[in-house]
Amino acid sequence: METSAFAIDVRGVTKKFGARTVVNNIAMQVRPGEIYGFLGPNGSGKTTFLRMLCGLLTADGGEGKCLGLDFRHESAAIKKRVGYMTQKFSFYEDLAIEENLDFIARLYAVPQRKDAVEKSLKRLGMLERRKQLAGTLSGGWKQRLALAACLIHDPQLLLLDEPTAGVDPKARRDFWDEIHQLAAGGLTVLITTHYMDEAERCHRLGYIAYGNLLAHGTVDEVVKTADLTTWEVSGANLPALAEKLRGQPGVEQVVAFGTALHVSGRDAEKLRASIAPFMGGEHQWTQIESGLEDVFISLMETAKDNFS
């Protein structure tokens, strides 16, 4: 295998289903030991991209390397070095935790299989539950089992497709602590998520909408590149104010954030001119730094749908 500065280094990645392009000419570079967040609305092409990287789908176009191997022509070798955690829990619910892990270890022909299973149970705190049927586990424990199964063959790359959907906040936090420990040990992680707090825990991230990669970089780089101006408004009767603001020149989005509104646009002068008549009185206006969620809502609203 070639040595490379990147665990993932691909360009021009494209996939079509019929006349619809679901992944359009995407390039991505991810360094070894990096946690790369992949964000976007449902149907944006995130899962399709992950499946092409690990050889479960064949790309219609593109070139490059995944773990030093040609991602289009050496997919069988890549699969052996990748752990892929799907959105849906996909293990045998009528088998115990230990039995599920043993089965996965057999599939990968893991040497010293029993020791590998024991190590997995211990690492993710499942020793006391080893005999529990997978179907009786809570969402958080199912997540732990899925992660353990992905890691049992010591992969070099971990692909996680919305792994924390439907689990409680503590399970999410514990999961992310484990991911950061794994990355610190050199494991590369590509993770899709809808949660902005999770995106901010990634080293770098990309935002995809309708098959197109619209932004990428660190959180600070993505926010800066968007060049979005945001005002926070507090006070009485905010829903009525929001209706008046929507559609004004320069006002691209008006979104409720807790007990305030965020009013944003990319033309700072037009935005200020439009909101000026509403300043004062019963509302308090403060210009703030745009957050990651402000930026992603803006990107989503300006993206062109590829469904037709």
pLDDT, tens only, 109-167: 999 999 999 999 988 888 999 999 999 988 888 888 999 999 999 999 999 998 888 78
Residue 155 near residue 128 (C-beta atoms within 8 A): no
User: What structural domains and CATH numbers belong to the chain?
Assistant: 8-222 (3.40.50.300), 229-289 (3.30.70.330)
- Supply the pLDDT for residue 291: 92
Bridge partners of residue 51, in order along the sequence: none
Mean per-residue pLDDT, 22-43: 93
**pLDDT tens-digit map of 233-244:** 999 999 999 999
Q: What is the mean pLDDT of residues 24-30?
A: 96
Q: How far is CA 199 from CA 41, 187, 190, 193, 291, in A?
A: 14, 18, 11, 7, 12
Whole-prediction pTM: 0.89
pLDDT attached to residue 305? 59
